[in-house]
Amino acid sequence: MVVHRAALSALQEADLPDQFLDDAIRRVSYVVRAHSDGDRSDVLALALEVWLGLLRHTNRVTPAVQTVAVKLLRKLQPYDAKDFIRHGWGGLREATGYADFVVDLLEHPGTFDTSYDDLIEELGAIPSVEIQRLGKRIVEAGMTISSREPWRSGECLQVLAEAKVWDAAKELAHRRVEACGNTRDFHSRRLDAELGEAIVKLESAAAEGVVDDVVRHAGRARELQHEIARDEEDNKDVRGLFAPTRRPSTDG
């Protein structure tokens, strides 16, 4: 293991002359195969990074290579897979099965909460046709991870809306509202979810050119904005235990 990691790290840093590239690719492919069972996820992740980097350098990343790479990504531990995605080591966004893998990783119980930023950002960078295909799965993933961090369903909703996957977006928006119930502790969260639903319906109606629906949903959105403002004013000093609905600020 130590020898493999050392060799891979050296190749990662080296600028190989062209005459050595074929041999390097062949040797790294051996290492990839040796760790393809995923028992040493960290070594496999590093081997994949080096292998794909060499292949990109020589313009040899074929659809077949991409398919193999995505299958091997599924052998990685969630934290190693997330790092691979975060750094864009694979360049696999167009690969068959890659979008499915990102959604799977997003809702995987072993994925850390701190990984959601990178995974949702990556999901938003995937071609819209794939978001369309995976719309219902993104709805489910959004609801799953919102049980850990409630605002994440809103971020998944944004991915769907930006890709103009309106049916799935409206479904997720409505389920966000239903998940809040009608208790006082969740009142602020419900208002935010209702506003999100109104905005999605407004954007969908605008995209379809249905003027009456645009006017109706715009009116509802304005009503909710006023109600949210009143709620924030009324509860600025004392709020329920579960009242925070928005992503915590990272400012100073």
What amino acid is encoded at 234 in this protein? D
Assess whether pLDDT exceeds 60 at residue 244.
Answer: no
pLDDT at 241: 46
Question: Using one digit for the tens of pLDDT, what is the confidence trace for 110-169?
Answer: 999 999 999 999 999 999 999 999 999 999 999 999 999 999 999 999 999 999 999 999
Quote the CA–CA distance of 143 and 125 in Å, as a whole number: 20
Q: Show the domain range for 57.
A: 1-76
Burial of 218 (0-12, 13-18, 19+ CB in 10 A): middle
| 214 part of a folded domain | yes
Residue 112 resides in a domain? no
Co-location of 144 and 217 in the same domain: yes
Does residue 88 belong to any structural domain of this protein?
Answer: no
Which residue, among 40, 89, 43, has the nearest Cα to 66 in the 3D structure?
89
Percent of the chain with pLDDT over 90: 68
In the listed set 31, 50, 76, which residue is the last one of a domain according to the structure?
Answer: 76
Q: Give the domain-ending residue among 58, 76, 94.
A: 76
**Residue 115 lies inside a defined structural domain of this protein:** no
Helix (H, G, I), strand (E, B) or coil at 200: helix
pTM of the model: 0.84
* 144 within some domain: yes
Tokens of 6: 């050392």
Are 164 and 228 in a shared domain? yes
Clarify whether residues 142 and 230 are in a common domain.
Answer: yes
- Residue 238 CA to residue 231 CA, distance in Å, equals 11
Residue 241 lies in a domain: no
| Domain identity same for 151 and 219 | yes
Mark whether 54 and 149 lie in a shared domain. no
Looking at the structure, do residues 138 and 72 belong to the same domain, yes or no? no
Q: Is residue 118 part of a domain?
A: no
| Residue 229 and residue 144 in one domain | yes
Q: Is residue 165 part of a domain?
A: yes
Model confidence at 228: pLDDT above 50: yes
How many domains does the chain contain in total?
2
pLDDT of residue 249: 46
Give the pLDDT confidence of 67-90 residue by residue, as tens digits. Answer: 999 999 999 999 999 988 887 766
The answer to whether residues 160 and 66 belong to one domain is: no
- pLDDT of 174-183, one tens digit each? 999 999 999 8
Give the whole-angstrom CA distance, residue 11 versus residue 203: 49
